[in-house]
Chains A and B, each alone.
Chain A
Amino acid sequence: MTAPLLSLHGIGKTFGSVTVLRDVDFAVQAGRVMALVGENGAGKSTLMKIVTGIHDPDKGGEIRFKGQPVRFHTPRQAMDAGIAIIHQELNLLPGLSVAENIFLGREPRTRFGSIDWSTMKARAAGLLARLKQDHVSPGAPLGRMGVGTQQMVEIARALSLDAEVIIMDEPTDALTDVETRILFEVIRSLKAEGKAIVYISHRLSEIFALCDDVTVLRDGQMVHTGTVADLTEADLIRHMVGREITDQYPHAKCPPGKVRLEVKNAVADGVEDVSFTARAGEVVGFAGLMGAGRTELARAIYGANRLQTGTVEVDGVPVPLKSPRDGVRAGIAYVTEDRKADGLIQPHSIRFNMALGALGRLSRGPVVDRRRETSAVAEYMKAFAVKAPDMDCPVNTLSGGNQQKVSLAKSLLTQPKIVILDEPTRGVDVGARREIYVLINKLKEQGLCVLLMSSDMPELLGLSDRILVLSHGRLTGSFDRGQATQEGIMERAVA
């Protein structure tokens, strides 16, 4: 093996009194894709933030880039040296255009020092074309685009740096199959150009499809490193969680109950005339490509987006949906796909966030009942295996997957009748995913009606009792459990 392009030796990191990384070694070669895997909170993102100068490592560790010891103190230094990172949480400015976001801080200039808009737009268009996002206009404001498109913009930004090492922290988290395939093509071509890629993901199938090498972190320590070809999926899971996981997608059979939710001729922004029913004790999956209208449908049913025409009935009673407040009152809960912008109040504590929607139930009159609140929050933290020092720590110090669990728990604490899960396991590790599936099954057995919108096909197929396919805001297919196949769904999704 040739000398690594980037290597880390003996890296440790402590936040206050919490040790997050211990004596970690890590190395990537030019022209190879290195997978970095591990449970939520294992320290993957933190390690990559150390490489890119966002966090300082503890004393004693060493980072070498192209054979030279380096230490970056700002992300900008890492960028200039040739290391780019796509962060797990989107770091874009919604008020700016796509092109401005891609070139933020590095805008092409004219001879007079002003921003060279035409070059900037042309280069942005080139990058977007490479990612097959030609439908995205470089001048359009970013804020109005879905998370998936925003993620592609974030990727375009990393590509624009033409860096030698590109770190991707769960880049496919917000992408559907189609975009994921596009990204893989791009990664393969980068690899052929001799770039080194670090690829973090909880979707194990991606690791096997894409990566050459893999490093596993567990509780802040490097527990395995080697080539992917030498491992089976079961091996990898064992390295990650320290035990076997069988039956990744448990499914509970329930006799279907009465009709809980009836949506008739719903028309909303991005949704054109959708009708369906869902029963108590049923998981209805929604498949579709990016922009098919799944999130828009979810938001309209919940009252977050305006329902232009059509009706939503819960238990046979029409629900007026003027605001999310009406949705909550009718017993509908919504777990958003974008936890950073819509799901959690970042600097506030786990307790604050989890209890927020359920304070009505956790109060005596207008006064919050601290004891009831504490026990409810503790119960859900345990049920979801949230990894955190305590319930009073701010959610922005949690790992991405643990934030997702808090976001899920927050919606379920309202004790809804219907829960709409929009990408519920985004960024959640294999072990915890299974916990969430078990929990969904349990809720289902208690008569909850679950609408599951997911881009993760195995998850959708494994959990749903019925799958509806959306395309361009319309229902284009319906499959019962057992009939549904990935190919069948894809065929309807592009219809």
Chain B
Amino acid sequence: MPSNATSRTAETAANGGAGKAVLRFLAANKSLVGLILLMAVVSLFSPNFLTVDNLLNILRQTSINAIIAMGMTFVILTAGIDLSVGSVLAFTGAVCASLVAADASLWVALPATLALGAALGAANGVVIAIGGVQPFIATLVGMTVLRGATLVYTDGRPITTMSDPFWAIGGEYVFGIPVPVLIAAFAFIVCWFVLSQMRFGRYVYAVGGNEQVTRLAGISVTRVKIAVYAVSGLMAALAGIILTARLESAQPTAGTAYELDAIAAVVLGGTSLMGGRGYIFGTLIGALIIGVLNNALNLMDVSSYYQMIAKGAVILLAVLVDSRGKTNR
């Protein structure tokens, strides 16, 4: 398994001092160090930052990107990329909204939406794994076609929903925590389990590490690839449900450029775009870094134009620090 931070620390804690263990953990989780530093700096500049309300707000705002980025992690671990997530989000969100608007039971509407997302992702996977099309191109096509399909389906207008139980998915609080945050936390646990404990997770790392070796070991690389894009589509649909629920409407342009934030979160979390190396905990941290950054820039009244520049600079910095650590080793 590529360095699984938590188990490594458990080992070192047993035979070394706790302080050493903490240092090891931080060295293996540079993105976490980055997040903590960022939060420290921001709290110096902005007194409103370290309040429970604001932190919960960040978590809520981050949850959608975090969920998409977790799905993206599966794809990137196989050395692929999924540019279609934003469009999948919009399309599945629209379908979900129309089902809810037509008074379908949530027990039908939600699973159907998730299944649709997985199927759209799997379609990407088929084009890539069986059709042999480059992931970048295949999902670029997926992104364009699905955006078009969303506009056709919605006729270019938002679809509004009037359902309190549906709204609750995006807007309600449970034990003082926003529901989207709980959903993201649950998704994180499931993804972590799949990647680190399940056979499928091993195969994902194997495909990204060396496809040829994986194939010769008797593993169907085709199936693994289709599956990871299905996971990505599923997660995009989950994000679509949350966003639609929160806004109580599906916007045909929803999710535009979301793929970029998701990819950024994955890369900030230390996952290699070359595949085979990385882990889901990093992605979560990466998403939080982006969330904190957005929030901080808002608190500091930085215009959204400058926000983009600042965000780009931070990502570049993080990636430079990370790659430097690698060549020195």
The chain A residues found within 8 Å of chain B, CB to CB, are 302, 304, 323-325, 327-329, 334, 336, 341-349, 351-352, 355-357, 359-360, 363, 366-368, 370, 392, 410, 414
**CB atoms of A329 and B205 under 8 A apart:** no
A410 contact set on B, CB distance < 8 A:
217
Q: Which of B198, B205, B218 contacts A357 (CB 8 A)?
A: B218
A352 to B209, CA, bound (A): 11
A393 to B220, CA, bound (A): 26
**CB atoms of B218 and A328 under 8 A apart:** yes
**CB atoms of A325 and B218 under 8 A apart:** yes
Between-chain CB contacts (< 8 Å), 5 pairs:
A342-B212, A345-B206, A357-B217, A367-B198, A367-B199
A341 contact set on B, CB distance < 8 A:
212-213
A325 contact set on B, CB distance < 8 A:
218-220
**CB atoms of B1 and A352 under 8 A apart:** yes
Question: Is B311 close to A, CB under 8 A?
Answer: no
**CB atoms of B218 and A329 under 8 A apart:** yes
A468 to B200, CA, bound (A): 40
Q: Which of A334, A347, A351, A363 contacts B216 (CB 8 A)?
A: A334
**CB atoms of B218 and A324 under 8 A apart:** yes
Q: Number of B residues contacting the other chain (C-beta, 8 Å)?
A: 23
The chain B residues found within 8 Å of chain A, CB to CB, are 1-2, 197-200, 202-203, 205-206, 209-210, 212-220, 276-277
**CB atoms of A368 and B213 under 8 A apart:** no
Q: Which of A323, A363, A410 has the most CB of B within 10 A?
A: A323
**CB atoms of A352 and B277 under 8 A apart:** no
Q: Which of B197, B199, B205, B209 has the most CB of A within 10 A?
A: B199
A329 to B1, CA, bound (A): 25
Q: Which of A345, A348, A351, A359 contacts B199 (CB 8 A)?
A: A359
**CB atoms of B2 and A368 under 8 A apart:** no
**CB atoms of A368 and B202 under 8 A apart:** yes
Q: Which of B1, B216, B277 contacts A336 (CB 8 A)?
A: B216
A367 to B200, CA, bound (A): 8
Given the interface pairs A323-B220, A324-B218, A327-B218, the reply to whether A344 lies near B199 with Cβ below 8 Å is no
**CB atoms of B216 and A324 under 8 A apart:** yes
The 6 A-B residue pairs with the shortest CB-CB distance in the complex, in nearest-first order: A328-B218, A345-B209, A357-B217, A345-B210, A325-B218, A359-B199
Q: Which of B1, B2, B218 has the most CB of A within 10 A?
A: B218
**CB atoms of A366 and B200 under 8 A apart:** yes
A336 to B210, CA, bound (A): 14
A348 to B202, CA, bound (A): 11
A446 to B217, CA, bound (A): 23
Report the minimum CB–CB distance from B194 to chain A (whole Å). 9
Q: Which of A329, A334, A355, A368 has the most CB of B within 10 A?
A: A368
A346 contact set on B, CB distance < 8 A:
209-210
Report the minimum CB–CB distance from B119 to chain A (whole Å). 21
Q: Which of B2, B197, B217 contacts A356 (CB 8 A)?
A: B217
